[in-house]
């Protein structure tokens, strides 16, 4: 009799146990709330420091105007489909502005580390440490998209060029993939490097070599063989050539080859898949770095 009552009690406790989907729904809602709060915090910081937003717009515009005017008579039309150097330069400056904004995305986390705010976030009852990575990536993606939109509109206005909706969407997808991959690397460096001085020094070291080792300023055929190898490894090269191809044709053909590097030849589809793969690899590495550093 006693065993029967125990079995009934056990059966009833299992029957009235909450379902797993209720718990998972609350868990997802908490993570969503964490991400929204962290993103609002970054927006408040940007509102208090608008110079960082304006510099990300003015610096590429100066490059586009001054550098384009300096080499406006360069004979790039002999080896490319572009009519003048300004049309050739615009995609490179657009991608480089996205790269510059993304490489600086780890700076707020670095300052949080130095001023002790990151320790407060880590001891807070966060449901997932991934909220730190996701919120930073979403914030820098929106800011960089805003900055590059001004650069794209300015370049189109200077060249009196028009793009259709499909081409504009592809351009923003490519820029978003570059921002996500480079931004995640920057966030990982913010957890690895000892301070903001080393972080800023690394940014200064990487910026110009990354620009000059891509096809932003000159085609591959203008480069020596050793620099062609480096440019073929640089992911910015594939993003720049994809946008340059979209700028130079009135319609989009996904089958045409857009770049022939030292090792391979890629079209727009293959370039996008390559950038997606690179983004996932960067996310995986940085996620493990954050989990290791926060333990």
Domain assignments of the chain as residue spans, ordered by start:
17-294
Question: pLDDT value at position 149?
Answer: 84
Phi/psi at 259 (5° precision):
-155, 140
Q: Interior CA angle at 47 toward 127 and 42, to 5°? A: 15
The set of residues, in sequence order, having a beta carbon less than 8 Å from that of 172 and lying 6+ positions away, is 145, 148
Q: Give the pLDDT score at 161.
A: 65
Q: What's the confidence (pLDDT) of residue 77?
A: 61
Alpha carbons 248 and 86: distance in angstroms, whole number: 12
CB 94 within 8 A of CB 155: yes
Report, in angstroms and rounded to the nearest whole number, the Rg of the chain calculated over CA atoms: 24
Q: To 5 degrees, how large is the angle CA 238–CA 240–CA 242?
A: 70
In sequence order, the 6+-apart residues with CB closer than 8 A to the CB of 178 are: 95, 98, 99, 102, 235, 236, 239, 275
Q: CA-CA distance, 169 to 159, in Å (whole number)?
A: 20
Q: Which of 45, 42, 187 is nearest to 105 (CA)?
A: 187
Beta bridge partners of 265: 260
pLDDT of residue 2: 47
Q: Which residues have C-beta within 8 Å of that of residue 164, sequence separation ≥ 6?
A: 250, 251, 252
What are 93's two structure tokens? 């400056």
Q: Which residues of 107-130 are buried (b: 16+ CB within 10 A; e: fewer)?
A: bbbbbbbeeeebeebeeeebeeeb
pTM comes to 0.79
Alpha carbons 196 and 257: distance in angstroms, whole number: 42
- In order along its 295 residues, the chain shows pLDDT tens digits of 445 555 554 445 544 455 444 546 766 676 777 778 778 888 888 788 777 777 777 877 887 778 777 777 766 665 566 666 777 788 888 888 888 888 888 888 888 777 777 767 766 666 666 777 778 888 888 888 888 888 888 777 776 567 778 888 888 888 889 988 888 888 888 888 887 888 888 888 888 888 888 888 888 878 888 888 888 888 888 888 888 888 777 666 666 667 776 667 777 888 888 888 988 888 888 888 777 766 6
For residue 9, report the phi and psi dihedrals to the nearest 5 degrees: -65, -40
Distances 259 to 14, 163, 208, 231 between C-alpha atoms, Å: 62, 21, 22, 11
């Amino acid at each position: 009799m006693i065993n029967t009552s125990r079995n009934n009690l056990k059966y009833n406790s299992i029957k009235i146990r909450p379902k797993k989907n209720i718990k998972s729904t609350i868990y997802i809602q908490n993570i969503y709330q964490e991400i929204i709060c962290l993103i609002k915090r970054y927006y408040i910081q940007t509102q208090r420091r608008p110079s960082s937003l304006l510099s990300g717009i003015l610096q590429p515009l100066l490059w586009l105007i001054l550098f384009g005017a300096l080499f406006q008579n360069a004979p790039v039309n002999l080896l490319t489909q572009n009519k003048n150097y300004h049309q050739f330069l615009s995609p490179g400056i657009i991608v480089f502005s996205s790269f510059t904004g993304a490489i600086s995305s780890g700076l707020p986390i670095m300052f949080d580390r130095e001023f002790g705010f990151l320790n407060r976030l880590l001891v807070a009852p966060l449901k997932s440490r991934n909220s730190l990575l996701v919120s930073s990536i979403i914030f820098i993606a929106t800011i960089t998209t805003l900055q590059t939109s001004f650069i794209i509109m300015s370049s189109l206005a200077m060249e009196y060029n028009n793009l259709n909706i499909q081409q504009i969407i592809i351009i923003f997808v490519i820029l978003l993939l570059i921002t996500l991959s480079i931004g995640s690397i920057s966030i990982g460096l913010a957890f690895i490097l000892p301070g903001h001085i080393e972080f800023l020094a690394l940014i200064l070291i990487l910026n110009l070599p990354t620009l000059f080792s891509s096809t932003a300023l000159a085609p591959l055929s203008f480069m020596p063989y050793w620099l062609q190898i480096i440019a073929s490894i640089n992911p910015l090269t594939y993003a720049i050539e994809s946008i340059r191809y979209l700028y130079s044709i009135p319609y989009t053909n996904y089958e045409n080859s857009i770049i022939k590097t030292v090792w391979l030849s890629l079209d727009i589809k293959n370039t996008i898949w390559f950038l997606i793969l690179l983004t996932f690899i960067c996310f995986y590495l940085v996620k493990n770095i954050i989990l290791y550093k926060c333990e």
